[in-house]
Amino acid sequence: MAIAQTMNGALRRLPAWTIYIVGAVYAVWEFWRALNQIGPYLVEPINVLERAYGEIALILMVVGLMVTPLRKLTGVNLIKFRRAIGVTAFFFVLAHFLVFAILDVQSVSRVWEEVVKRPYVTVGMLSFLMLIPLAVTSNNMSVRKMGAAAWRKMHKLTYPAAILGAVHYLWLVKGFQLEPIIYLVAILGLVAVRYVSLERQKQPA
Amino acid sequence: MAYRWTNTLTKADITPKAAYFNRRQILAGTVGLGAIGLAGGASAQGDLEPNTLEEITSYNNFYEFGTGKGDPAANAHQLQTSPWSIKVDGMVDNPGDYALDDLLAGLSVEDRIYRFRCVEAWSMVIPWNGIELADILNKVGVQSGAKYVAFETVVQPENMIGVQRRVLDFPYVEGLRLDEAMHPLSIMATGIYDEPIYNQNGAPIRLVVPWKYGFKSIKSIVRITLTDVEPPTSWNKANPREYGFYSNVNPTVDHPRWSQASERRIGGGLFAQRQDTLMFNGYPEVASLYEGQDLSVDI
């Protein structure tokens, strides 16, 4: 595990807040490209930006869910970045929602209509709502106030939120498309790994 | 018979070639070209400022070449369009494999500036060059019992990444009722902006039925079949609950995935406002085709 140790040593010097900086720079960069209709944003920037923010949120959720299995499997420890990864994922979901609400459907009544009428929007919205309390309590003060056990229990909401996010994507696309299936399988796998390892721990030694 | 339908706009209203390739540069320098669009207001025909060729050729749905909107522009150069022949069969007097040029010989190519409305709730305005479908059907001779026209898109698996990935059950198939096919608005397009149609837009020949959602306007056609039974259509096969045979643009009938009440015209940038979708995409002259039909049932 020499490689893991070297990596952990390097990662120790990297502060967790770099995740926020990179996330913010990426979000602004994509918005700027959409505004100026550069590259993939040439013709229809609204839809493409909406997708870009949604997809990076899903990627960050997958990465966040990988932190624990990765440590167990390889010894590489990303645990100090996990909160920043999760909160950044939330910010991209929020950005995705804002592009949808303000730039895409453009009115409160239409947002409501979409949420009520279209199941893929409904599940996306549910995922977003589940993430709000998690983002709000992603600080040490909340852990202390709630108590570690209660806090940990509540933050298990990450699992259904991530699954619903992937279902939202799969439901939204037309025809048989591989990408959303990959996200859903990855997330279901990463959640399942937790329950498998939990079950093992419960068994008497 | 050609020239049965006329634009209220003339050929002079089509943006000159020097200007159309990148409208944004033009708009930065002058306000003149926008006047056509602004002066028309809410009238059905008045807002038809065509999209740029760049927009029309770089934002497409053509799942044989991938599901991303930019995929067809990136991949469709692999499509082999020459030689091209179209198999005409079923209830016709003159069935056979027609070379494209032979099938179209003697028929008039017209300019048609049409709204194009995708079921995904975006739209464009496209200056097509094409032949009335009725002219082609009359040329091959429709037999009296025929009630429907079925169309089929070419399949070139080695050139089509989406076919390899089985995104849909290819070949892509579509169909029209015979009276819809014979309507003067229905054309077979071979060009856009007086240039041969780009591969990503359905070269060398594609259907354009402007009062229906875009997926009805099947691309790169290799087979036309006259039949007396309603032909299968690709999206209906993939998801019958969401895509009906008729698929007329109808703001009052919601699609399970997209509200059809409004749309976004391509070309407005990041802050483009939505606009109301018009019944039959603003072509009320087709309403008589559906008299006695409940269009909330016959979707």
Instruction: Give the residue from A103, A104, A118, A174 with the most B CB atoms within 10 Å of its CB, the best one to mutate.
Output: A174
Contact at CB, A178 and B165, closer than 8 angstroms: yes
**Residue spans per domain, chain A:** 2-202
Residues of B in contact with A35 (CB under 8 A): 269-270
Position B27 pLDDT exceeds 70: no
Give the ipTM: 0.81
- The reply, when asked if residue B69 is annotated as ligand binding, is no
Least confident of A75-79, A173-177, B264-268: A173-177
pLDDT at B254: 83
- The reply, when asked if residue B153 is annotated as ligand binding, is yes
| Ramachandran angles phi, psi of B62, nearest 5° | -155, 85
Mean pLDDT score, B67-89: 95
Q: At what angle do helices A45-74 and A158-172 cross, to 10 degrees?
A: 140
Query: What is the torsion angle, in degrees rounded to the nearest 10, for the CA atoms of residue A90, residue A92, residue A97 and residue A98?
Result: 120
* Residue matched to tokens 């001779």: B141
DSSP string, B104-170: HTTPPPEEEEEEEE-TTSEEEEEEEEEEEHHHHHHHH-B-TT--EEEEEE---GGG-HHHHTTSSSS
Mean pLDDT score, A165-191: 94
pLDDT at A202: 62
pLDDT at B20: 56
- Does B296 or B33 have the greater pLDDT score? B296
- Domains in chain B (CATH in brackets) are 12-290 (3.90.420.10)
Nearest to B140 by CA among B210, B173, B72, B91: B91
Contact at CB, A37 and B266, closer than 8 angstroms: no
- CA pair distance A42, A36, nearest whole angstrom: 8
Contact B66, B72 (CB under 8 A): yes
Q: How far is B70 from chain A (nearest CA, A)?
A: 7
Single pTM value for the model: 0.84
pLDDT at B33: 40
pLDDT at B14: 61
Q: One-letter amino acid identity for A52?
A: A
* Residue matched to tokens 């995935």: B257
DSSP string, A53-111: HHHHHHHHHHHHHHHHHHHHHH----HHHHHHHHHHHHHHHHHHHHIIIIIII-SHHHH
pLDDT digits (tens, 9 = 90+) for B149-170: 999 999 999 999 999 988 899 9
